[in-house]
Chain A
Amino acid sequence: MKTQAIHAVPPEQLQKVTFDEAMEKRIAEIFERYPTKRAAMLPVLWLCQERYGWISPGVIAAVAERLEESPAFVEGVVSFYTMFHRQPPAKYVLQLCVTLSCELCGAKTLAHHIKERLGIGFGEKTPDGTFQLLGVECLGACGGAPVIQVNEDYYENMTPEKLDQLLSELAREQ
């Protein structure tokens, strides 16, 4: 398994967003699944995050226009859900589960380990923009606690040693 890095489009290029033909085509496909345009909200936002790496106000305005909603409404939806990045993310977002089973099985040790190794706490990014640590709630993989999700991929039964290995691999691959 090779975790894909996120390549976030810099903010200055996302101030005003127009969807290209490929995006429009996929949006049109999404619209066909639902009786209302609004229901395409989450799929279209996911599409944007996949494409741009994060959801800037410019992206929100573009989505709002396409879905015939007000940008405030779209922003309200975006901010309700925790998975949409509202700031450009690092290449690898380390999402450490902090909920009960993972805490019981050593998530706290992992958090301290990351702090020691990378110098970042929750909500922080390494200065080179490679890693970012987020504390997240239950990832639904408690049997493999402690769990850490890096971008889209789950890494279960993590130990400081396995984490070291993973971080080295990711740092090499970028």
Chain B
Amino acid sequence: MPKLTIDGREVEVPQGTNLIEAARLAGVEVPYFCYHPYLTVVGQCRICMVEIEGQPRLAIACATAAADGMVVKSATSQRVKEAREAVMEFLLANHPLDCPVCDQAGECLLQDHAMSEQGGNFASGMLETRRTFPGLERRLLGPHVIQNQNRCIHCSRCIRFTQEISETWALTYKNRGNNAYIDTFDGRPFDDPFSACAADVCPVGALTVREFRFRKRAWKLSSTPSVCPGCSIGCNIWIDHHERIVYRFTPRENPEINATWLCDYGRFLSESLNQQDVVHPKRRLKEGWQKLPWAEVFRALALDVKAAKTLRVVASGYMSNEELYLARELFARRLQGELVVPVFMGEPRKMKNGRRQWLYSQSALPNLEGAKRLGIRTVDEEGLARFLYGAADLTVVLDPQAHPFLATPEAVQLVKVSPTVVAARVDAPLLEAATWVLPAASLAANEGTWVSSTGKVQRFAVAVAPPGEARPLWQILALLARALGFADLAVTTPSQVFQWLVESEQSFAGLDWNTLLGAEQTSYRERQHVG
């Protein structure tokens, strides 16, 4: 383990660490644009210049490995300061400086460096007209990415991303020198299942995400650590939100699972979290729907549940471990009902981890693994149909999204024959058949843990308050349990349930709710802008 000094601070780092990462460990920020911790080092931008004692020339920190006894100067070197100012002058020579109308502003490495490290003090001797790329200022590069080539600082991160991570090799430089620009083959649509990551890695506003562009200034957003609900891989995300509205998902660093990547499918599920069609609990009467306050709902519903001799419950692979535990405890163990979790594959997804290995989804459900660990019976489509075909006095569907079959007319017919309780967030055909509809909150308003198909238990936190009278499902289950007389299940936070899991379930033993969020992993510099 080499021990070195950076700006007077001593630090010991693992063998092979470059000077940018070593400096970070020492608490020194070395600026960079083209360097990215999960992409090949190319040393193109030249802003990470540092002075190394005993070397006549400045070195680029990204491509220099920390060595024992090295004495490095970054912020404390006048030569470094001059060199970085010169590099900034070069970079800004042709940069449009249109920050006020650029959507990257607030999370732009170039802007940050100009403002923070140069203190906004910046004079340029540039008298020339700027180089522009007519026709490439507002181009839809692909379905999700908008290009403004005038802002590009030629860091090649997006190109390297498509070559090294998504492996589509879809982006390239065209021409060379100062005339080079980013393009696809023959200007055709940028077709890449991870296309928005190219905009993520773009340190400036040259590539921006179409869906997010101009919807919210980056500095207004708060970020909450969460987990992508798109499939079983369990990519770590930030939910970026403002005033109870979710604006986007961005990847949250996790070298084990998604490094700093996120597929387009998962990323653009973010908008769906804002959808809350069901906002009031209600009961179907002969004359129509009757809205009820929650307190009455539980009282009345408890009577219905108690009256039912046979009870069948459809849980979901979208539910947290805590919710599944409560559902199992309440419906299966205390009330002796039948509990299943439907399984479906959906479209296969893949993700590259920090060691550049592909991970493949095992199912479309983010917590199927958790359901299996809790020993809940899983059923495929046929099994689910058969389960619903049997007679029961009361059917409880905790999530109409649990399986596509639940949206079919066939499922509606099967459920209709007996009283049905449905906890739902968005409109679903199944609601036609429901006698009770309970508004459940989205992932953004919930908290709990999921087990990814890689076997990792991961926690997601509450980003926003639930809209209307919607409640997180764990709360609905806990309050129903109390109404049914099981006061011991009436938890006030899912962490209590998690503690039971830790105590009772082998596969949860030793885990700690407080450290499961993983949000402390933020070596990825870009994240410091938001939240």
Contacts and interface: CB of A to CB of B under 8 A. Distances in A.
A binds B: yes
Interface of A: 57, 60-61, 64, 69-76, 79-80
Interface residues of B, number: 14
B186 A69 contact: no
Nearest to A71: B185
B174 A57 contact: no
A4 B446 CA distance: 74
Interface of B: 163, 168-176, 183-186
A126 B175 CA distance: 25
A57 B175 contact: no
A72 B169 CA distance: 7
A69 B172 CA distance: 12
B169 A75 contact: no
Contact of A70 (B168, B173, B174, B183): B168
A49 B163 CA distance: 27
Q: Which 4 A-B pairs have the closest CB atoms?
A: A76-B172, A70-B169, A71-B185, A72-B185
Nearest to A70: B169
B170 A72 contact: yes
A80 B186 contact: no
A75 B184 CA distance: 9
6 contacts: A60-B185, A70-B168, A72-B183, A75-B183, A76-B173, A80-B175
Contacts of A70: 168-170, 185
Nearest to B163: A73
Given A70-B168, A70-B170, A75 B176 contact: no
B186 A73 contact: no
Nearest to A79: B174
Nearest to A78: B174
A74 B163 CA distance: 13
A79 B185 contact: no
Contacts of B173: 76, 79-80
B139 to A, nearest CB: 15
Contacts of B172: 72-73, 75-76
B175 A69 contact: no
A101 B145 CA distance: 46
Given A57-B186, A60-B185, A60-B186, A73 B176 contact: no
Given A70-B170, A75-B172, 6 more contacts: A60-B185, A60-B186, A61-B185, A69-B169, A71-B186, A72-B171
B174 A76 contact: yes
A75 B186 CA distance: 8
Given A70-B168, A73-B169, A79 B176 contact: yes
Contacts of B186: 57, 60, 71, 75
A117 B185 CA distance: 38
Nearest to B179: A79
Contacts of A79: 173-176
B323 to A, nearest CB: 44
